Structure 1
Amino acid sequence: MSETKDDPMHGAVVSMEQVGGRTLRVARWRLDEPSDHLPVLFFNGIGANIEAVAPLAEALPERPFIMFDMPGVGGSPDPLMPYNPFTMSWTAAQLLDHLGVGDVDVMGISWGGGMAQHFAMQHAGRVRRLVLIATSAGMLMMPGSPKALTKMANPRRYVDTDYMMQNFETLYGEGLGAGPGKKGHMSRLQPPSPRGYMYQLLCMIGWTSAPALPFLLNQETLIMMGDEDAIVPLANGKFLNALIPNSELKIMLGGGHLFLLSHKDESVDSIREFLDRPATENESAEAA
C-alpha cells in the first residue's frame, strides 16, 4: 500500500493475482470497507498501466474500485498466448470471483471502453451500470486524425519523453496544457512490453459491438466524449448513443482524448451524478 498522498496509488492495495490461467497486477481501493455503492470495475486504455487512471479512484472516495494491468502492461507479466475480448472478459469475471465481488458498475476508457462493452454484454447479470469514456464500437468506428493515430500506434510514446512532449497535443489535445497536468500524467505512465502492446492491438482486430448493442446491452449507460478528441472523434459517441437503448451522451466541450484528466471535476461530477441516480423502472424490474 502506498504511503504518501502525492502517490496516485495512495490508499490502493496492490497484489499479483493468479486468475484464469494468467498472472495479473491488481489494484483495489476500499474493497474491504463498508459502502452503500457497488464496486467499480475499470478497464484502462491501450498500453496504459493502473497508475494512469488511479486519480479517478481517489476522486470517488465513496466507491470501491478495482483495476488491473493487462498482460504485458504495467506490472503484469507478458501474455503467453493472445487473448480476445471474450477470454479477457471471462478472466475479469474470474478476478471478481477471486476477490469475492458480485455485482459491479463498469467503466472503460478508449480501448478499455470496448472491453467494458463486451464485459457488460457477456456478463450482463452482474453489471448494474456502464460508463463509456472516449471510446467507440470497435471496427465500425469513425477514425480519428491520421496524424494522431500514427503516433498513437507507436509505443515510443511510452518510452521516449521528448517524443511524448513533442506530440502530446497531437495525441491528446491541449486540455492539459504545458503545466503539471501534462507532466503529471506522463510521470504515471510505464512502457508496456512489445508483446503486451502487440497483443492488446491484436485483441480488438475485427471486433465490433455494433450489431449486438441494441439487443444485448440493456444497462443504463453514460457515454462521455470530448468534442476535440483527435483519436476517437465525437461521432463515435453519437453512434454508440444511437445503438445503446438506455444511454445518454455527455459531451465535454474543449475536451481531447484525456478529458477525464483535463476536465477532471466536470467528469467526476457527471460520473457521480449518473451512478448515484435512483434505480430506474427497468433496473427495478430486472432486480425483481
Structure 2
Amino acid sequence: MAPIFLPDLRLNARLDGPTDGPPLVLLHALGLRLELWDAVVARLPRHRILRLDMRGHGGSDVPPAPYAMGTLVRDAERAMDHFGMKEAVVVGLSIGGLIAQGLAVKRLDLVRGLVLSNTAARIGIAGQWQDRIATVRDGGLAALADATMERWFGRKWREVSQMPALREMLLACPAEGWMGCAAAIAGTDFYETTAMLRLPLLAIAGANDGSTPADLVRETADLVPGSRFTVIRGGGHLPFVEQPDAYVAALAEFLTGIGHG
C-alpha cells in the first residue's frame, strides 16, 4: 500500500507492476475497495497499475457526508498527479466510471483512454439514491445488502460463489462513506459533458447486471464517436469477479488495439 497524504485527506492507494509499464488506473464501485481489482491486476503483469480507495471507503479517510462528484474527481486527479501518472487508461466501475468520465473531461493530459465498466453517464435518479441513503442512515448497510446483491448478481444471487465475500466487503464499508458517495451519484448527470469526449473508449456491461443494465451502458458508449461496447455473458455488475478471464481478454484487446498493451 502507498498512502497519499493530501492537505485535507489521506487516500489509501496501491501501485503494482513495472515502473515503465503502460499506466492504468482502476476506480472501484460504491461500497467496495481497491482489493476488488485483484484478479484484473494479476492478469495484467506488464502494466503499471494504480488503485485507490475512494474517500469514505477502505483505508481512506471518511469525511462527513455528503460528497460532491467534483470532489471525487479531484481526489483521483490528485492521486494521479502524486504518482506522476499521465496518459493513462482509466478503468472505472459504476461510480468509478462516473469519476473516470469527469476526470477525462477535466484532465485530458492524464487520460489517454477510458474503459467504462458497468456504468453510465447517469446512474439511477436522485429520488432512488435519497431513499437508499435514508435506509442506510436508519439501518446501516445491512439493511441494503440483500437488495444490493440481487442488483449486482441477478435473481440467482444467492448461488454466486463470490457473493459472500463481496457482501462482507460491502458491509465493512463505513456507512458515512457510502452515504457520501451515494449523494455524489444522485447529483451527477454527465450526458452533455461525456458527449464532448473524443478519445478511445471501451464500454463493458454484464448480462446479469441489474444496477447498470447493458442497454444503459451502451447508451453511454454511443455518446462518444468510435467507442466500442461488449457484454460479458454470465457476468453481473462486477463481471471481472465472476468472469475474470473474459473480462481481461476484452480489456487487453482494447489496450493492445490502442497501443497501450
TM range (shorter): 0.7 to 0.9
More displaced 10-residue stretch of structure 1: 226-235 or 110-119: 226-235
TM-aligned CA deviation for residue 169 of structure 1: 4.2
Give the paired residue count: 256
The one-character-per-residue Cα deviations of 1:99-145 (angstroms, maximum 9, x if unpaired) are: 12222110101111111111111111221111011111115x599xx
The one-character-per-residue Cα deviations of 1:152-188 (angstroms, maximum 9, x if unpaired) are: 996579658xx85797345422688736433444455
Preserved contact between residue 138 and residue 208 of structure 1 (Cα < 8 Å): yes
Name 1:125's counterpart in structure 2.
109
Q: Does the C-alpha gap of structure 1 residues 91 and 256 become closer, same or farther in structure 2, counting only changes over 3 Å?
A: closer
Name 1:22's counterpart in structure 2.
9
Does residue 206 in structure 1 map to residue 187 in structure 2? Answer: yes
TM-aligned CA deviation for residue 50 of structure 1: 1.3
User: Quick one: which of 253, 257, 260 aligns to 1:277?
Assistant: 257
Preserved contact between residue 145 and residue 170 of structure 2 (Cα < 8 Å): no
User: Quick one: which of 159, 171, 181 aligns to 1:178?
Assistant: 159
Divergent runs of 4+, >6 A: 150-153, 174-177
Q: Does the C-alpha gap of structure 1 residues 219 and 86 become closer, same or farther in structure 2, counting only changes over 3 Å?
A: same
Q: Does the C-alpha gap of structure 1 residues 213 and 20 become closer, same or farther in structure 2, counting only changes over 3 Å?
A: farther
Structure 1 counterpart SS, 2:12: strand
Q: CA separation in 2, counterparts of 1:252 and 1:246?
A: 20
| Gap runs ≥5 in structure 2 | none
TM-score normalised over the length of structure 2: 0.84
Partner AA of 2:35 in structure 1: E
Does residue 105 in structure 1 map to residue 105 in structure 2? Answer: no
The one-character-per-residue Cα deviations of 1:231-277 (angstroms, maximum 9, x if unpaired) are: 11112112112211131110123332122211211110000110111
Partner AA of 1:71 in structure 2: R
Name 1:92's counterpart in structure 2.
76
Q: Does the C-alpha gap of structure 1 residues 258 and 94 become closer, same or farther in structure 2, counting only changes over 3 Å?
A: closer
Name 1:264's counterpart in structure 2.
244
Partner AA of 2:230 in structure 1: K
- % identical aligned pairs: 24
User: Quick one: which of 39, 43, 46 aligns to 1:59?
Assistant: 43
Q: CA separation in 2, counterparts of 1:232 and 1:197?
A: 18
Partner AA of 2:10 in structure 1: T
More displaced 10-residue stretch of structure 1: 240-249 or 179-188: 179-188
Name 1:5's counterpart in structure 2.
none
Preserved contact between residue 154 and residue 208 of structure 2 (Cα < 8 Å): yes
Name 1:6's counterpart in structure 2.
none
Partner AA of 1:214 in structure 2: A
Q: CA separation in 1, counterparts of 2:228 and 2:8?
A: 37
Q: CA RMSD in A?
A: 3.1
Q: CA separation in 2, counterparts of 1:239 and 1:49?
A: 27
Q: CA separation in 2, counterparts of 1:229 and 1:167?
A: 11
Does residue 197 in structure 1 map to residue 178 in structure 2? Answer: yes
Q: CA separation in 1, counterparts of 2:244 and 2:134?
A: 26
Which structure has the larger Rg over C-alpha atoms?
1
Q: Does the C-alpha gap of structure 1 residues 170 and 90 become closer, same or farther in structure 2, counting only changes over 3 Å?
A: closer
TM-score normalised over the length of structure 1: 0.77
The one-character-per-residue Cα deviations of 1:178-235 (angstroms, maximum 9, x if unpaired) are: 36433444455562222211110111223111112222x1110000012221111112
